[in-house]
Structure 1
Amino acid sequence: MPDPAAAPPVIRHGADAVADALGRPRPTAQQRAVIESPLVPALVVAGAGSGKTETMASRVVWLLANGLVRPDEVLGLTFTRKAAGELSVRINDRIRALEDVGLITPGDAFEAPTVSTYNAFANAVFRENALLVGRDGESQVLTEPSAWQLARRVVVAARDDRLAGLDRDVDTLTAAVVALAGATSEHLVEPEDLRRFAVEFSGLLELPGNRGKPYKAITDAVAAIGALDPLADLVAEFRRQKIDRGFVEFSDQIALALAAAESAPRVVTDLRQRYRVVLLDEYQDTSVVQTRFLARLFRGHSVMAVGDPHQSIYGFRGASAANLARFPHDFGGDEADAARPVTFALSTSWRNPVDVLAGANAVVAPLSEASEVDVERLSPRPGADAGAVRVVFPETLPEEADEVAAWFQDHRRRDASTSMALLLRARKDLAAFTAALGARGVPYHVLGTGGLLQRPEIVDLVACLRVLHDPAAGNDLIRLLAGARWRVGAADIVALHRLASWLFQRDHTHQRLDDDLTAAFRASVAAGEHGSIVDALDFVATAPDEHGALEAVTPAGRARMRELGAQLALLRSRAGGDLVDFVTLVVQEMRLDIEVAAHEQGSGAYLDAFVDELAGFVATDDRADLGSFLGWIDAAARRDDMGPRSEEPEAGTVQILTIHGSKGLEWDAVAVPRMVEGGLPARPQEGSSGWLGFGRLPYEFRGDAAELPRLAWRGQETQKEVTTAIDAFKEQVKARNEDEERRLTYVALTRARHDLLVSGSFWAGGVRPTEPSRYLRDLVDAGVIDGAAIPETTVHDENPMGESGATQSWPHVPFGQRAPRVLAAAERVRNANPGAAGRFAADIDLLLAERAATRNAKHAVAVPHRVPASGFKDYLTEPDSVAERLRRPMPERPYRATRLGTLFHQWVEQRARSGGALETLDVWDGELDLDADDRVDASADAVVTDDDARRLADFQATFARSRWAGRTPVEVEREIHIPFLGHSVVCKLDAVYEIDGRAEVVDWKTGKAPSGAEDLARRTLQLALYRVAYAEFTGRPLAEVDAVFYFVADDLEVRPAELLDRAGLERAWSAAVGS
């Protein structure tokens, strides 16, 4: 920034002159003030559609034309890659135009301005200065899927009894860990801070209660906050594993970049010298840590922040509208003579017509009055037309959806090139609107992962995947049973449920359990888990017809259940292979690809998109499995719904997305449905509890705590006083939620370039009608819509659609209204003369016979591509058990002794890496090739006890006396993948020593020594693989490689007399498994 005492720069070209030279319209007075602003901190409050991108580009052009900066001294930051791309293109086009008219000298291509997203800029600063904060600049950035998988592994591996008391499933805990870890990074909070807070908050139970009993509000709050204690441990472990594995998340990058800037003044100096002018777009969406980072770098610098407090709709991810009000404080210079920050306004809407703008202003008026930043009322552009704002408010949701569809149909009929959007507050009513659009033949496109998951074919696919993965997925199985393909009646589904309860009370031989054992079993599972209809279906598929337990199932229902059960059994037998290939197989076996192709508007695009999502998930981690993907996809859909979209409008097609996703976009015609109380404004899923909920960061830890509702819980003398404070806090939260809903509505309304439809209806689901939204009343009061179009009340005393909101026939009728035509066509095909069999008939018969043989084969399972060496022997010696595990994978119980073996392996590895100097155990996480031989104890207790520690010490002492103790291995924990008959065998070699010119592969064993020759021969297969792997990996002859077991518990060295070579191993595999 120029010295304040220096002479002011000479301005040769005004903003009007530059615009004239470039042949562009002259800026307005407001735009001119922004463009010609001096090089001091400046805040621009820019309303929706007010031309902020054009104004920012024009400011850069004006600065360049007057020689105030070079192009490469300009930094522009925004949130999305789409916005960054648009700003970059606009600026660079203007620069080329300046060069063409001679206002600036053509420069080097490397002297272009830097336009980036906030995260990308922070990432660059972090990577340049990573060593300053003790991190690797080449750290891999965790994508959302990979972060989810790592957090899920942390949750699954946790051995914390407190987690069971939280009564949350793995996916819920994973989501909480990911969210809380992100929040702690965003607000620079340590897990230990959360632990201390939880302990302090639990002290509320010690206050005097209600006649000796605690108030429910207190016990609920303490239980919710108490969860922070174990969750903080999970977050700490998640952080540790990220560091150990060299990972960072986006939130980590910003926090680490801030740490680098705070620790080394040269980081700040270098960036200030590199970028003399900084533009911050969508500033209202910056988080606390982003603001702190940017202020650290550019306080008192030439920073221009552009934002709109009324469009701050991403508060759930840390954004704060208060950032705009704090701008003068955050970016004002510290020096006494520093220039004071200035504020500008852009209040002319270049997008919206008069009536649309009047409605938006009416909705947001209460926020403007209460805003800490002066926000001018948006005014229409000169010559703007009135536009068309219409309201419909029929009795029922289906009627509302049909009227919305008819409105879009009319627009499309008048102009097929019209861009159109349906903006939803939430996706719960999506099906009603897509059905109405489809019935009227209006093309539509549901944007985002959330929309993808609500496609009928994807819902069926996910239901099938859940049934294959989880025996408790009863609801998903009912969807399949009652669907158009299987059409199992309600009575048979009830009978299946009773059968599940019958099986729950019996052992594996179907003998009834005694009452005490049944009661204990019930107490050991969660509520509602008293019988699995998935297991019951498996029973139906295999039990003989005369079995008494099947009496209540009709013959037709039994036949259909058996067909579905057989299909699921087939699919489970293929579950061990590549995940993408497996899901593709499920699509084919369920005939979903055929079903969508047969639909009048059918397309396989959504199935392809789902498989693409899966492929992207798998690509982030080669240990990804079906369970982790199913957990992630739901969480990803929720996040995707809440983020901005980047798709361009599609002419003649209604794009359907959430209001959160619509920010930054615009369309000719926009419909905003479900404007009812509870719809828009919505009732937050977490209610009005604020931070008094599971896994939420208490507000006092947030950087914007001063602007958030405050709970005065400290210093109270009784629980009643705390309860009163909680009630007051919840009222503040409700008021804040109302403000957020108003901002959302404002964003939705201002997406319309010409026509706007707002709608609602009295009856959807439930027994009570919904009331028209308060925002509709605002529009009526502003004279934008006719109040007479909104009935005062419903004409029905009860829900005309029934309590569920809809009446449907069961079983589902395939093809709907098209059924008669489709059935007639099928009958004509069946009755047609097939004529000649065709030249492919013999090939088809052979292929069908091969498929039938494969399906009926006893061991017809797909062997996974990756086979661990520790499991190789099982394929050869226990093929039936392996086949059963592959058909229906089950979770493995944890073994305490496996943990002991792991710790010993890790100690030996660390000892080797430290040159043999390490004599104490230092625990860390690693990936070891352990097998059942290392499980010397089957205790479910995975905690390392004092007894465990003594045994580990014994192992260490024994090893110290062995002949390997004084040697240094040439390899330790070396992982080698060898190609093997179309598979990849994964070998993890514990250690390799060079002894007398020969390589010796050593496999440490903490379990029992072989019990006989047969046991030794079985274990020797793994050692033979290690020997072959090392020989091929190093290229040395197999004859020069030895292999030996060392059973450390018995101080016993076992050197097999004979080890198979590759050819022998391949023959043994082929004989047992096939080629």
Structure 2
Amino acid sequence: MAAPSQTTDVDPSARSGLDADQRAAVTAPRGPVCVLAGAGTGKTRTITRRIAHLVGSGHVAPGQVLAVTFTARAAGELRTRLRAFGVGGVQARTFHAAALRQLRYFWPRVVGDAPWQLLDGKLRAVGQAAHKVGAETNAESLRDLAGEIEWAKASLITPEGYPAEVARVRRDIPAAADLVAAVYAGYEKVKESARLLDFDDLLLHTAAALETHAEVAAEFRDRYRCFVVDEYQDVTPLQQRVLDAWLGERDDLTVVGDANQTIYTFAGATPRYLLEFSRRFPEATVVRLQRDYRSTPQVVSAANMVISNARGRVAGTRLRLIGVQPPGPEPSFAEYDDEPAEAKAVAATIRRMISEGTPASEIAVLFRVNAQSEVYERALDEAGVPFQVRGGERFFARPEVRQAMAALRTAALAAGDPEQAADPRPLAEVVREVLVPYGLTDEPAAGTAGRQRWESLRALVGLAEELTPEFDLSAFAAELATRADAAHPPTVQGVTLASLHAAKGLEWDAVFLVGLVDGTLPIQHAEGDESKIEEERRLLYVGVTRARRQLSVSWALARAEGGRRGRRRSRFLYGLIPDNHPAARVAASRGGAKPRCRICGSPLLGAEALKMRRCSNCPSDVDVDLLDRLKHWRSSTAKEQQVPPYVVFTDATLTAIAEQRPADTAGLVAIPGIGAAKLDRYGRDVLALVAAEDVAG
């Protein structure tokens, strides 16, 4: 791995066409350099031209540069752009691809025998470990356990340290912490005995090889002299450990990132390394890119407003985008009675836009969870609009949906037996009963896979609620089959349907952000955890900044057609919608006006204020004795149900109850976080505690 000696003639255009801030980042002397690059500010252009500048100025040869990105697509784009400037030979790879290449080279010297094979999918090994310790081994549970092991390894958490760490961070886990830790430990033993490595092992072994073998580290550091890391806000502790091993005592490092776009902390990512870069390298050059070349000033203004209310942002790292594109239309906001109406209106608008000349490929519909895609798939199909689903399977292709459809067909055949009386219950109730054994519960399941499964099954119940009373179970099963047949992936590129996570790094002329209600964005399981709420806010920010010219925001007050309109539009939209906007007036006319403080009467902003029904700076009138009784009851209930206490009620919800002392179910469900399921499960106990406290008082 000797260092290359060739020189490179770099295209002079690599240093042209830059704004002042981009030029400062490109021409900064050798690292450390930190580029805080907002959405649409030309970070890829800046990265490629900085590398070209370093090569062209003789600071480093192309083969001595290692540029790390987070996707193979981004790495390929980086190499293509560099070649256009006459800079070939730069190693642009993902962390895992770079580590795999290095490990293969150094393995004979470090380990001494034949290289271990790369594990092709970890579910089988996780299943063996789970079976051995008595954990669930169905496909959904194994996916959740595998994801939890990936998070732990990315966070540098050992099986022994797992229970204490998840308790410390109050992580939502798929099974008891000790059981997950046992599966994790068993999984590592299965791999070791079979001489297998998973993707996280590539990083762990690469770091260990450089940390413990001086001659290996010396050869590597002689080869690679300059490092560039893109999307630095999404680096995990494990990836940072590898980067530190690559660097050694050197500091020729350029990092690029935006803390406002940190949306993967659930997978172990942390913006801490980006935010603390100047502390680690006090002499670092820090450049801020804030001129947004992607979006109109109107879209940029909306993005700034969304993120301006974020809490906990570190001073000096906050970016406020500056729109430099020609003006465009103001963002549109719309409220609908229910989700089908919202989807039909969006589909009709898209159809009109396409007829007026907007390419279908330049339009996207973005949502928080994949289960929301089904109603838009159907609406676009009915409108004759071609579409593609990105970052996830189409609704009817999901395993849980196929399994549910099979169960419904079986139940329909049994119900059609002439020896049995017709079921008089509403269709939705019958469907719900059929799907309970397949994971449909009153509350979302723990873990990502479980939650996605729950959302898909709940969407089927919602569809049953929308159908006319004439539909029985047999007709419903036939309806599902018809819709599945009509929803085959289109053969032409069309409108993009994607989750907000899958939309990261992409952009379109027109973006529809749909389904923006509390409980979906922010997602229900984020309640009670400010850090999770803030990540949900950043997701919305990412969604807004995907739009170049047209941004449409919408929400529905009910899920099913004709359902109770009990939803609230997302708290993140307060202040974003102009007071004189029709959507604001519609909300007010339906009792959806901005809630006001019960103490001073001011409009309420933020989740905590909405829950307490008072401003954060207004005096609390909490009943301390009642709060103690509620916490004692919660502790006993959680122990009895074998769940963490916050699953019953969060501290914020208990405090709201102790402040507002609801006298009936109406007062109880008026507190955010207490829906129909929790009212049925806990309402009687809570109201009894409140009543007992009032009598005692």
Q: TM-score, normalised by structure 2?
A: 0.69
Give, as a single letter, the amino acid of the residue that structure 2 aligns with 1:154: A
Is the 8 Å Cα contact of residues 393 and 789 (structure 1) preserved in structure 2? no
Q: Secondary structure at the match of 2:408?
A: helix
**Where does residue 408 of structure 1 map in the other structure?**
350
- Return the alpha-carbon distance in structure 1 between the equivalents of residues 66 and 284 of structure 2: 19
Aligned length: 537
Question: Measured at CA, do residues 320 and 752 of structure 1 come closer, stay the same or move farther in structure 2, by a change above 3 Å?
Answer: same
Partner of residue 739, structure 1? 534
Q: Which of 169, 181, 195 is matched with 1:246 structurally? A: 195
Among 780, 783, 791, the alignment partner of 2:587 is 791
Contact 1:72 1:112 in 2 (8 A): yes
Aligned to 1:308: 258
Aligned positions of 1:14-53 closer than 5 A:
21-22=12-13, 25-53=16-44
Verify the 8 A CA contact 2:129 2:186 in the aligned structure 1: yes
Deviation at 1:366?
2.7
Q: Would you say the 8 A contact 2:290–2:320 is kept in 1?
A: yes
* Equivalent residue, structure 2, for 1:343: 286
1:229 shift after superposition = 2.6
Partner of 1:180: 148
Aligned counterpart for 1:189 among listed residues 157, 167, 171: 157
Q: Could you tell me which residue of structure 1 aligns to residue 5 of structure 2?
A: none
The residue identity in structure 1 corresponding to 2:541 is Y
Task: Give 1:376 deviation, angstroms.
Answer: 2.8
Question: Does 2:390 align with 1:447?
Answer: yes
Greater mean alpha carbon deviation, residues 736-745 or residues 121-130: 121-130
Aligned-pair CA distance for 1:40: 2.2
How is 1:493-532 mapped onto 2 (pairs within 5 angstroms)?
A: none
AA aligned to 1:193 is G
What SS does the corresponding residue of 1:393 show, helix, strand or coil? strand
3-state SS of 1:791 partner = helix
Aligned CA distance change for structure 1 residues 356 and 72 (closer, same or farther; 3 Å): same
Distance, in Å, in 2 between the alignment partners of 1:494 and 1:304 is 72
Cα distance change of structure 1 residues 674 and 477 upon mapping to structure 2, 3 Å threshold: same
Tell me by how many angstroms 1:226 deviates. Answer: 9.2
* Equivalent residue number for residue 650 of structure 2: none
Change (3 A) 1:526 1:355: closer
Q: Determine helix, strand or coil for the equivalent of 2:286.
A: strand
1:256-335 superposed matches below 5 A:
256-298=205-247, 299-330=249-280, 332=281
Compute the displacement of 1:183 (Å): 3.0
- Equivalent residue letter for 2:556: S
CA displacement at 1:222 relative to structure 2: 13
C-alpha distance after superposition, 1:92-112 (max 9, x if no partner): 11116xxxxxxxxxxxxxx61
**Partner Cα distance (1:527, 1:752) in 2:** 36
CA shift in 2, pair 1:604/1:191, >3 Å: closer
| Corresponding position: 1:138 with 2:123 | no
Provide the C-alpha distance between the structure 2 equivalents of 1:195 and 1:682, rounded to a whole number of angstroms: 25
Secondary structure of the residue aligned to 1:394 is strand
Number of the residue aligned with 1:727: none
Give the distance between the partners of 2:406 and 2:376, measured in 1 at CA.
Answer: 26
Partner-residue secondary structure (3-state), 1:739: helix
Q: CA deviation at 1:495?
A: 7.5
Map 1:30-179; keep pairs closer than 5 Å: 30-95=21-86, 112-130=89-107, 134=111, 138-143=115-120, 146-156=121-131, 158=132, 160=133, 163=135, 168=136, 170-171=138-139, 173-179=141-147
Deviation sequence 1:640-694 (CA, Å, 0-9, x none): xxxxxxxxxx76x21101000000101111100011111222222xx55xxxxxx
| Letter of the structure 1 residue corresponding to residue 127 of structure 2 | R
1:84/1:196 CA distance change after superposition, 3 Å: closer
User: Percent sequence identity over matched residues?
Assistant: 27
Give, as a single letter, the amino acid of the residue that structure 2 aligns with 1:759: S
Amino acid at match of 1:322: R
| 3-state SS in 2 of match to 1:192 | coil
3-state SS in 1 of match to 2:273:
helix
2:371 aligned residue:
428
CA contact (8 A) 2:306 2:537 kept: yes
Compared CA separation, residues 406 and 242, structure 1 to 2 (3 A): same
Residues 555-609 of structure 1: per-residue CA shift (max 9 Å, x gap):
xx9xx99xx9xxxxxxxxxxxxxxxxxxxxxxxxx9x99x799x6x665779xxx
Please report the RMSD computed on the Cα atoms of aligned residues, expressed in angstroms.
4.1
Deviations 1:165-219 (A, max 9, x none): xxx5644542343233323322333323347889xx89xxxxxxxxxxxxxxxxx
- For residues 248-270 of structure 1, the C-alpha deviation after alignment (integer angstroms, 9 at most, x for no partner) is 11111111111112112333332
Contact 2:156 2:237 in 1 (8 A): no
Partner Cα separation in structure 1 for residue 173 and residue 319 of structure 2? 42
Q: What is the CA–CA distance in structure 2 between the aligned matches of 1:257 and 1:666, rounded to whole Å?
A: 35
1:695-710 paired onto structure 2 within 5 Å: none
Q: Which of 777, 788, 798 is matched with 2:574 structurally?
A: 777
Aligned counterparts of 1:368 and 1:786: Cα–Cα separation in 2? 29
Conserved 8 A contact 2:508-2:546: yes
Structure 1 distance, partners of 2:94, 2:420, is 53
| Unmatched tracts of structure 2, length 5 or more | 1-8, 425-436, 441-471, 593-697
Alpha-carbon spacing, 1:482–1:190, altered in 2? closer, same or farther (3 Å): closer
1:479 aligns with 2:408: yes
Using the TM superposition, give the Cα deviation of residue 404 of structure 1 relative to its aligned residue in structure 2, in angstroms: 0.9
Residues 347 and 377 in structure 1, CA contact (< 8 A), matched pair in contact too: yes
Quickly say closer, same or farther: Cα 1:174–1:136, change in 2 above 3 A: farther
Q: Is 1:376 equivalent to 2:324 in the alignment?
A: no
The reply to whether residue 749 of structure 1 matches residue 590 of structure 2 is no
Equivalents in 1 of 2:356, 2:576: separation in Å?
27
C-alpha deviations, 1:885-943, integer Å up to 9, x for none? Answer: xxxxxxxxxxxxxxxxxxxxxxxxxxxxxxxxxxxxxxxxxxxxxxxxxxxxxxxxxxx
Structure 1: which 5+ runs fail to align?
1-12, 97-110, 203-220, 333-338, 467-474, 498-524, 529-556, 565-589, 607-649, 689-730, 797-1075
> In the aligned structure 2, how far is the partner of 1:680 from the partner of 1:184?
26
Which letter does structure 1 place at the counterpart of 2:180? L
Q: Contact 1:313–1:740 at 8 Å: present in 2 too?
A: yes
For the 8 Å contact 1:41–1:300, the answer to whether it is kept is no
